[in-house]
Chains A and B, each alone.
Chain A
Amino acid sequence: MGDLQIKKQTKKYDAVIVGSGAGGGMAAYVLAGAGLKVCLLEAGSMFDPATNSSQLKNPWESPRRGARTKYRPFGDFDGAYHGWEIDGEPYIKAEGTKWDWFRARMVGGRTNHWGRISLRFGPKDFKRKSIDGLGDDWPIGYEDVKPYYDKIDRLIGVFGSNEGLPNDPDGIFLPPPRPRLHELFIKKAATGVGVPVIPSRLSILTKQINKDRGACFFCAQCGRSCKVYGDFSSSSVLVKPALATGNVDLITNAMAREVLTGKDGLATGVSYIDKTDLQEYQVYGKTVILAASTCETARLLLNSKSDRHPNGLANESDVVGKYLHDSTGAGMGAIIPTLFDRKRYNEDGVGGLHVYTPWWLDNKKLDFPRGYHIEYGGGMGMPMYGFNWGIEDINGKFLVHGKQKEAGGYGKSLKEDNRYFYGARIGMAGRGESVARRDNYCEIDPTTVDRYGIPVLRFHVKHSEYEFAQARHMKQTFQEIFHSMGAVVTHGNKDSAANDWGLDNPGNVIHEAGTVRMGSDPKTSALNKWNQAHDCRNLFCVDGSSFVSQADKNITWTILALSMRASEHIVEEMKKQNI
C-alpha cells in the first residue's frame, strides 16, 4: 500500500455528475446541451446497446439457454450487468427486516433493461397527505412537473392513449400497439368485473421520431436493450448525444467514494476509485449532482462527513436514508384452457405489455390508503431455460386433444403436451404505492466496508398493515379477473401471514425512492423543490432519492422529468452566478 496516493485532476468542471442512469443521464444531457463542461462518473463499464446488446440472439446461443446468473439476474441475454449481488460490495439487513437491492453497474444504469413502463404521476400523487393524512405532500404539484413530462414525451418518445383520467394524466403519445390475443381476453374479462384496461404507456418508438433512432421492429426484447435505439435507455438516448456535444468527459469504472466539501461547506468535487487501477482520484466542479440511484446516493451523502457536515452532507435534518420505500408487488399465474392448441403466429410485439390497468378505485372506501396498477403478461414467447417447467402440475389436469392423461409422463405423449399447452399461460402483477415512513431507512453500517474500503449500507425496512391489506385486495382482483375469463390459477393464490400475503420483499420491485426527500421545511427534508440541498446550495440529487412519495406508478418517468427540471434550473442559476 506504500504507493497509494490521491491523484487530483487539474481541470475544473462546471458540474461533476455521479451515475449515468435515468437521473444522471438526463442531467448530463441538459447541462452539456447548454454548453457546460461536465465530468460524468460511472461506477460500471461502457455500454452501448448498438454494440453490446444480445438482441435477436437465439436461446441456443447461451450455454444456459438464457437462465439467470449472479452477473445477469434477469437472464443471460438481459441488458443489465450485475444486480442483486456484486462481489466485494455487500450490504447488510438489520435482523428481522427484508430488503432486496438491485444495482446495475454500467453506462445507462438500470435503464438498459428496465420495463419501459413510463407513467406520469397525477395531481393527487403529489398531495397524498392532504388526501389521507399519511406521509407528506410534495413541495411541488403536477402543474410544476407537467411541462417537463411534455418535454420528455417529445424528446424520448412514449406510446399510449389519452383517456382523460383524473389521476393518470394524458401525454404526448405515439400510437400504442394493438393488444395481443390474451390481452383482448383480459380486457374483456376485467372490464366485465369493473376493472378498466387501457393501452399501456411504454417509452418505445412505434414510429420513428428522429434520425438518430430507429423505429421499433417488434422483437419483444427491450430487456436486452435495443440495437436500433427503438426504446429508451439513458445510454443511447441521453449519454450518447451528451458525449457528442464534446462537453462531457465520461469516466467509466469510477466508483465514487464521497462528495468533497470546502471550508465554506460547499461541494468542491468528488473523490473516486478507478476500478481498473484501484487508485484514488479527485475531480472538481462548481456543482455536484448525485444520481447514483436512491440508496447509493444516500450512502454517498452519509459517507461525506466533514467539520461543517458532521452528520453527513445535506443531512442537518437527519432525514438522509429515511423514508426509503419501494413499490409493492404481488403476482398470480394462470392458464387459459381456451388457448390450448392455439394457432401459431409471431406474437412478439413490443418488449412489454400492450395493455394495463391504472388504479381505478377510491381508497376512502377501502381498508388501505394507496392504490396499485396491474401489469399483464403471457403469449407465445421465445422458449428459454425453464420452458414448461412443472408440466407435471398441468398435464394431468386438463384433457389433451380430448384425452385424460396421467400427470407427468414422457415420450411422444409429452411432446404432444408441450405443443398443446404452449402460449396458454398468463400472469398478473400488481404494483402499488407503499406509504413512506421515517422508520423504514438505510444507514451506514458501523463495522462493514466494501472492497474499496467504503462503508456500506445497512437496511431496516418492513411492510406495514397498509401494504398487506393492499396485497390481499390485489389477489382478490386477480382471482376475479381470471375466474371471469375461465382461466385456471396455477400459482400465487395460497397466501397467508407466513408469506407476507404474497408481497414481494421490499426493494424487490426495484422502484426504491425517498432517501433524500425534498420539502419546503429544511428541518424535515434534505432538498428543496429544485432537488437542491438545503444545507449545500451547489449540491443536487436527481435520482429517485428526492421523492416524497411513490405513487401507484413506476417512478422513472418522474425521475427523468424532475432531473430535467433541476438541470435546467442549474443552468439558469449558473448563468446568474448563484452557484
Chain B
Amino acid sequence: MDRRKSIKALVVGTLSTGVLIEACKTDDKKQPDQAQPATADAVTRMPEEQVADKELREEKFFTSGELATITVLGDIIIPRDEVSGSASDAKVTEFIEFMANDKPEFRTPLRGGLRWLDLQCLNRYEKQFRDLDEKQQLEMVDEIAYPAKAKPEFKQGVAFFTLMRNLTMSGFYTTEMGVKDIGYLGNRPNQWNGVPEDVLKQYNVAYSEKELKECVSFDKTA
C-alpha cells in the first residue's frame, strides 16, 4: 500500500489526526544541525535534561588537532562509496565530540589512543598521523585494524581503533544518510501484514492456517 493512502486510512476515525500528520511530517524534516537543540526538545525533555544537554553541547574537550585526526580516521573507517557518503559527510566528528562529553569514560581512551597513534607515526615516519600521506596512513591503520592478527606491541592501538570503528559506525548509521544506506524502512505509520510473500518463499516458510485466521490483516488494495 502506498504510504499516503495508508496514512489516510489510519487517520480516518482516530482522534489524533493532527498528531499523526504532524508525526509524519517529521520524517521528511531536514536533518537538524547537530549544534542546535531540536525545538521539539521543550516538550519531550525534562528541564534538567535540557540544561544538561546544553552544557554537553557547549563543552569543548578535544583540541582542533585531535578533531582533525578523528575526522581523518572516520573517513578511513567509513569512506564514500557507490551507496552513500563518508563519515565526515555525516558529521561523525561532531557526534564523537558530543559523545566524549556525554560519556566521559571515552575521553581517556580516545585522547590517549590518538597520542599513541601519533607517537607510533613520529617514530616511524617522523610525522604525526594526520600529516602522513594516504599510503602511510593506511599502512599504520592496517597494523591496528585487525584484532586477531595484530602484533602484540600494537594491542593498545587495536583497542583504540576498535573504539573508533564502533563510534564511527554509531555516528554514521544513525544519520539520514546512514539509515538509507543500511536500508531501514520503518519509523512511519503503516499496516503490518506479515512478512512479504516473496520473502516467505525465499526462506521456505509460511503462515499456518491458524495464524492466517487469527492474526490481524489489512486489505492491501484498500
The reply to whether the CB of B99 lies closer than 8 angstroms to some CB of chain A is yes
Whether the pair A218, B184 counts as a contact (CB closer than 8 A) is no
- The smallest C-beta distance from A545 to any residue of chain B, in angstroms, reads 27
Whether the pair B99, A211 counts as a contact (CB closer than 8 A) is no
Q: Which residue of B lies closest to A79 (CB)?
A: B44
Q: B145 contacts which chain A residues (CB < 8 A)?
A: 408-410
The reply to whether the CB of B105 lies closer than 8 angstroms to some CB of chain A is no
- The smallest C-beta distance from A550 to any residue of chain B, in angstroms, reads 29
Q: A54 contacts which chain B residues (CB < 8 A)?
A: 40, 44
The reply to whether the CB of A94 lies closer than 8 angstroms to some CB of chain B is no
Whether the pair A407, B166 counts as a contact (CB closer than 8 A) is no
- The smallest C-beta distance from A431 to any residue of chain B, in angstroms, reads 24
Query: Among A60-68, A257-265, A457-465, which stretch is in contact with chain B?
Result: A60-68
Whether the pair A175, B216 counts as a contact (CB closer than 8 A) is yes
Give CA–CA (A412, B176) in the complex, Å.
19
Mark each residue of chain B from 70 to 101: 1 if its CB lies under 8 Å from any CB of chain A, else 0.
00000011110101100000000001001100
- The smallest C-beta distance from B171 to any residue of chain A, in angstroms, reads 7
Whether the pair A385, B183 counts as a contact (CB closer than 8 A) is no
- The smallest C-beta distance from A450 to any residue of chain B, in angstroms, reads 16
The reply to whether the CB of A58 lies closer than 8 angstroms to some CB of chain B is yes
Known pairs A63-B53, A71-B46; A220 contacts B102 (CB<8 A)? no
Contacts between chains A and B (CB distance < 8 A), count? 259
Known pairs A56-B27, A392-B162, A412-B79; A228 contacts B20 (CB<8 A)? yes
B14 touches which of A214, A220, A385, A396 (Cβ 8 Å): A214
Q: A382 contacts which chain B residues (CB < 8 A)?
A: 179, 184, 186-187
Overall SS of chain A's interface:
loop
A215 touches which of B14, B81, B95 (Cβ 8 Å): B14
Q: B10 contacts which chain A residues (CB < 8 A)?
A: 214-215, 217
Give CA–CA (A60, B175) in the complex, Å.
5
Whether the pair A211, B174 counts as a contact (CB closer than 8 A) is no
The reply to whether the CB of A422 lies closer than 8 angstroms to some CB of chain B is yes
The reply to whether the CB of B222 lies closer than 8 angstroms to some CB of chain A is no
Give CA–CA (A384, B146) in the complex, Å.
25
Q: B78 contacts which chain A residues (CB < 8 A)?
A: 411, 414-415
B186 touches which of A212, A220, A392, A396 (Cβ 8 Å): A220
Q: What's the tally of chain B residues with a CB closer than 8 Å to chain A? A: 85
Query: Among A115-123, A179-187, A278-286, A504-512, which stretch is in contact with chain B?
Result: A179-187
The reply to whether the CB of B152 lies closer than 8 angstroms to some CB of chain A is no
- The smallest C-beta distance from A64 to any residue of chain B, in angstroms, reads 5
Q: Which residue of B lies closest to A343 (CB)?
A: B199
- The smallest C-beta distance from A278 to any residue of chain B, in angstroms, reads 16
Interface residues in A429-452 (C-beta closer than 8 Å to B) = none
Known pairs A71-B46, A387-B174; A410 contacts B19 (CB<8 A)? no
Mark each residue of chain A from 170 to 203: 1 if its CB lies under 8 Å from any CB of chain B, else 0.
0000111111110011001000000000010000
The reply to whether the CB of A206 lies closer than 8 angstroms to some CB of chain B is yes
Whether the pair A67, B103 counts as a contact (CB closer than 8 A) is yes
Q: Which residue of B lies closest to A387 (CB)?
A: B173
Q: A178 contacts which chain B residues (CB < 8 A)?
A: 192-195, 207, 211, 215-217
Whether the pair B165, A410 counts as a contact (CB closer than 8 A) is yes
Q: B57 contacts which chain A residues (CB < 8 A)?
A: 63
Give CA–CA (A177, B15) in the complex, Å.
23
The reply to whether the CB of A386 lies closer than 8 angstroms to some CB of chain B is yes
Give CA–CA (A153, B16) in the complex, Å.
23
The reply to whether the CB of A136 lies closer than 8 angstroms to some CB of chain B is no
Mark each residue of chain A from 155 to 181: 1 if its CB lies under 8 Å from any CB of chain B, else 0.
000010100000000000011111111
- The smallest C-beta distance from A226 to any residue of chain B, in angstroms, reads 10
Q: B216 contacts which chain A residues (CB < 8 A)?
A: 159, 174-178, 206-207
Q: B203 contacts which chain A residues (CB < 8 A)?
A: 181, 184-185, 338
B16 touches which of A64, A199, A227, A346 (Cβ 8 Å): A227
Known pairs A178-B194, A408-B162, A409-B146; A45 contacts B44 (CB<8 A)? no
The reply to whether the CB of A418 lies closer than 8 angstroms to some CB of chain B is yes
- The smallest C-beta distance from B74 to any residue of chain A, in angstroms, reads 10
Whether the pair B214, A199 counts as a contact (CB closer than 8 A) is yes
The reply to whether the CB of A406 lies closer than 8 angstroms to some CB of chain B is yes
- The smallest C-beta distance from B142 to any residue of chain A, in angstroms, reads 9
Interface residues in B189-222 (C-beta closer than 8 Å to A) = 189-196, 198-199, 202-203, 205, 207, 211, 214-217
The reply to whether the CB of B131 lies closer than 8 angstroms to some CB of chain A is no
Whether the pair B165, A392 counts as a contact (CB closer than 8 A) is yes
Q: A57 contacts which chain B residues (CB < 8 A)?
A: 26, 40, 44
- The smallest C-beta distance from B163 to any residue of chain A, in angstroms, reads 10
Give CA–CA (A40, B84) in the complex, Å.
53
B166 touches which of A177, A389, A419 (Cβ 8 Å): A389
Q: B68 contacts which chain A residues (CB < 8 A)?
A: none
Interface residues in B127-177 (C-beta closer than 8 Å to A) = 141, 145-149, 158, 161-162, 165-166, 169-171, 173-176
Whether the pair A415, B26 counts as a contact (CB closer than 8 A) is no
Whether the pair B211, A179 counts as a contact (CB closer than 8 A) is yes
The reply to whether the CB of A130 lies closer than 8 angstroms to some CB of chain B is no
Whether the pair A161, B214 counts as a contact (CB closer than 8 A) is yes
Known pairs A390-B166, A411-B79; A384 contacts B174 (CB<8 A)? yes
Q: A206 contacts which chain B residues (CB < 8 A)?
A: 216
Query: Among A315-323, A347-355, A367-375, A571-579, which stretch is in contact with chain B?
Result: A347-355
The reply to whether the CB of B126 lies closer than 8 angstroms to some CB of chain A is no
Q: Which residue of B lies closest to A411 (CB)?
A: B79
Q: Which residue of A lies closest to B103 (CB)?
A: A67
Whether the pair B170, A56 counts as a contact (CB closer than 8 A) is no
- Using A56-B24, A228-B19 as known contacts, list a sample of 13 further A-B pairs with CB atoms less than 8 Å apart, ordered by residue number in A: A56-B23, A57-B26, A60-B32, A60-B175, A64-B102, A175-B214, A175-B216, A184-B205, A199-B215, A350-B192, A383-B179, A388-B173, A408-B161
> Could you list some 25 contacts between A and B, CB below 8 A?
A56-B23, A71-B48, A71-B52, A175-B215, A176-B215, A177-B192, A178-B192, A178-B217, A180-B195, A181-B203, A214-B15, A220-B186, A227-B23, A228-B15, A229-B16, A345-B195, A345-B199, A380-B185, A384-B174, A406-B146, A408-B161, A409-B146, A418-B169, A418-B173, A418-B182
Q: Which 4 pairs show the lowest CB-CB distances between chains A and B?
A: A178-B194, A214-B14, A348-B186, A59-B174
